[in-house]
Amino acid sequence: MEQFRLPKIPMPKLELPQAVKDVLADAEVKLAHRPKLLQLFKNCFPNTLETTTKLMDDGTTFVITGDIPASWLRDSVEQVIHYVPLAKNDSDLQRIIGGLIKRHIQYIHVDPYANAFNESANDWHWNTADVTEMSPWVWERKFEIDSLCFVVRLAYAYWKETERTDIFDAGFKAAMRRIYDVFKTEQHHFEQSPYRFSRNNGIPEDSLRNGGLGMPVNFTGMIWSGFRSSDDACDFHYNIPGNMFAVVALRQMQEFAEWVFRDKDFLAELKELEFEVDYGIKLYGIYRHPEFGPIYAYETDGFGNYCLMDDAGTPGLMSIPYLGYVTTDDEIYQNTRRFALSKANPFYFEGKAAKGIGSPHTPKDYIWHMALSMQGITAQTKEEKLEMIAMLEATDADTGYMHEGFHADDPHTFTRKWFAWSNSLFSQLVYRAMQEGIL
């Protein structure tokens, strides 16, 4: 994401919930033999709550991404997802996470095509000259299929963990219908979609070609997406990891329809759409690679063109099991993982300090901390998990926090010193390692 051009929003520092304090106390014992890692964890695990979270008077929660004064649907979910397993018996966390879900629902009713929103209808925008249908609530209106999926992901995880149903009101159900309707519309983007987006700033990745419509696509059953999770425009507009995420979200929405709302008609519609998207992935989203065998492509247009790469953002190819589409032992995923962690991936870099996946969103040879964290979370062996933790520990540039990208030869050359999502994903990896007893 780009540097913002507006003042920071003052975020009052929250009192940490007891469950979070308990995790930090546990870390004092389990990580005592690794003082630097302990300090990193103590900084990063509560970072979202201490620096980016604001409890609103209407019972909702506003979470900025860090150094940009707006809330991304995607980022805000991943900034708090590591707190969800702690929320069952902690009323403060329930207020924070439940409030964020309620705010997400409000935002979807404002505009289901937007990716980032303001705290109020203050008419702040990343670029005031964007050619699209803007709202004073919307900071940026890049349609990314994963934004809607992340809203479902948080609500589902919170419901399963806490068994609380107070989030499931009429507004929530209506928002699920809006998500479904957008997905159905974007199966036929050129024929049915009202969405257009152009940004005349001279940066090709910031704008959709073809008059804001995007490049042509063939019908596949998959869902069209304008932009990637990096906020960069897609090359080919069927983003495969994004569509995998949509399949998972549609399955979770089916549980809402069946067990919460008892709506058999909506359940049937969701099942049919899930089948269509999944069928499209299997038919169009697998590429027969001459070296790695069948792998999942990053993007396709349905005409036989493929984008073969992986990006550090989530959803990406590395994060497929993390999102719940397949397990880590899936054969095609393992082939894809080997591809993503090789020089066949144009955004895999190796240097004197680290090796890992970067992004076209940052300069060449910049590795992302989030990619290293995700590699560790999805690793099958203890050795690879520990290797990733050690690499993360060694590349913080002595700041005590994670960053966006850093140069493979010099971690002190980095982007975004305050990037809460990266801190949270690192915390999730270390916390899981603590629970598994491998640290």
pLDDT in the model for residue 10: 63
At 53 the three-state DSSP class reads strand
Dist CA 44 CA 39 (whole Å): 9
pLDDT in the model for residue 257: 98
Tokens for 334? 């393992």
- Between CA 275 and CA 283, with CA 277 as vertex, the angle to 5 degrees is 95
Q: Cβ(318)–Cβ(357) under 8 Å?
A: yes
Half-sphere exposure of 76 (CA within 13 A, CB side): 34
Tokens for 161? 């963990």
pLDDT in the model for residue 1: 36
Q: Looking at the DSSP assignment, which residues form a beta bridge with residue 131?
A: 198
Q: Cβ(67)–Cβ(416) under 8 Å?
A: yes
At 355 the three-state DSSP class reads strand
Shortest CA distance to 147 belongs to which of 229, 82, 69? 229
pTM (2 decimals)?
0.96
pLDDT in the model for residue 129: 87
Task: Kindly state the greatest CA–CA separation across the chain.
Answer: 60
Q: What is the pLDDT of residues 201-258, one digit of tens each?
A: 888 888 999 999 999 999 999 999 999 999 999 999 999 999 999 999 999 999 999 9
Q: Cβ(287)–Cβ(295) under 8 Å?
A: yes
pLDDT in the model for residue 202: 80
Q: Cβ(361)–Cβ(232) under 8 Å?
A: yes
pLDDT in the model for residue 3: 38
Label the pairing between strands 306-307 and 348-350: unpaired
Q: Cβ(306)–Cβ(287) under 8 Å?
A: yes
The conformation of residue 22, written as its DSSP 8-state character, comes to: H
Dist CA 147 CA 138 (whole Å): 14
Tell me what percent of the chain is helix, strand and coil, each rounded to the nearest 5. 45, 10, 45
Tokens for 36? 């630097």
Shortest CA distance to 86 belongs to which of 163, 14, 17? 17
Q: What is the pLDDT of residues 334-363, one digit of tens each?
A: 999 999 999 999 999 999 999 999 999 999
The conformation of residue 85, written as its DSSP 8-state character, comes to: G
Within 163-215, where are the H helices? 170-186, 189-192
Dist CA 361 CA 243 (whole Å): 21
Q: Which residues of the chain have pLDDT under 50?
A: 1-5
Which domains are delineated in the chain?
18-436 (1.50.10.10)
Backbone φ and ψ for 44, nearest 5 degrees, come out as: -85, -35
Backbone φ and ψ for 113, nearest 5 degrees, come out as: -95, -10
Long-range pairs of 259-264 with CB within 8 A, sequence gap ≥ 24? 260/159, 260/165, 260/168, 261/168, 261/173, 263/173
Tokens for 431? 């916390």
